[in-house]
Amino acid sequence: MRAATFTDHRRRIGRAVRHVDWHLDEDIDIRRLADTACFSPYHFLRVFQELTRETPLSMVRRLRLERARQRLAAGISVTEAAQEACFESSQAFARAFRALFNRTPSSIEPDEIRLDPDCPPPEIVTLRERRAIALDFQGTHIELTDAFGHLLGLARPLIKRHGATVASLSEEYPFPDAERPYSCQMLVLMPEAGLRETKLPVIPLAGGLYALWRLSGSLLDWRADYARLLDLTLPALGYRKTEGPIIRLFYNDPALVPRGNRKWSLLIPIVSFGA
């Protein structure tokens, strides 16, 4: 697949994923999703599964069941959860639930799943110096996802051969408003053998001491926790944030993954007190 084709397909399928994510309570029709992505139904199904590794309807069912699991932990009945998940019967819901989670809906205890989890503690890690493919980005944070599509398209042959992790590097506040100006460098981290093959720009990345903060979900969900991390958590561990860019690692593609399934980390440069 050519870089331009991949970028275009990723952007269009991303629109369909967002539609699914925001309309779980509605009837979701394949033709409607295909129209959202500007594909014929046949090509939509093929491209959607190629990029997301699941069919549109399996994504819808999985997201509804994941939400039902949270709702059961909040105390609703199995019958209510089945209805909210758009199943015709509690029996069909229970079978699908067991197939996904390997347990029955009735085994979910109230408060078993925290809907407002505690801020995860950071890991203190030492990074070695390395290099990465890098492209500059300037725009709004909401435009960054599409810009990454362009970089992923350009680097896709190398990524398929060598594997890679996608990241961003920025001196700016890591939780900007979606429509405010934002600048960063978009990175592709891969083995040195892949970097020697590329004609894309390559930059050095400084090593040093970092706080690795593993997160999931929407970026904006963690703003308040970030402030507590800097003001309370790191000082309690004997560290403070120092000057230098923050690296954000993406473990899955935010354009192709619903909000609740996104996984990412921040690498925050730190020094010990007294250093």
Per-residue pLDDT tens digits for 131-165: 999 999 999 877 888 888 888 888 888 998 999 99
Say if residue 195's pLDDT is above 50. Answer: yes
pLDDT value of residue 100: 93
Mention the CATH class of domain 3-107. Answer: mainly alpha
Please answer whether residues 86 and 57 qualify as being in contact, where contact means their C-beta atoms are separated by less than 8 angstroms.
Answer: no
Predicted TM-score (pTM) of the model is 0.84
Neighbours of 227 (CB within 10 A): 11
Return the higher-pLDDT residue of 46 and 4: 46
pLDDT of residue 1: 65
Look at residue 185 in the predicted model and tell me its pLDDT: 95
- Kindly tell me if the per-residue pLDDT of 274 is higher than 80: no
Query: Is residue 96 pLDDT above 90, yes or no?
Result: yes
The whole-number pLDDT of residue 140 equals 86
For the chain, domain boundaries: 3-107, 123-272
Tell whether the model's pLDDT for residue 115 goes beyond 50.
no
Task: List, for residues 7-54, the tens digit of each pLDDT value.
Answer: 899 989 999 999 999 999 888 999 999 999 999 999 999 999 999 999
Q: Residue 196: how many CB atoms within 10 A of its CB?
A: 9
Fold of 123-272: Multidrug-efflux Transporter 1 Regulator Bmrr; Chain A (3.20.80)
pLDDT band at 270 (very low <50, low <70, confident <90, very high): very high
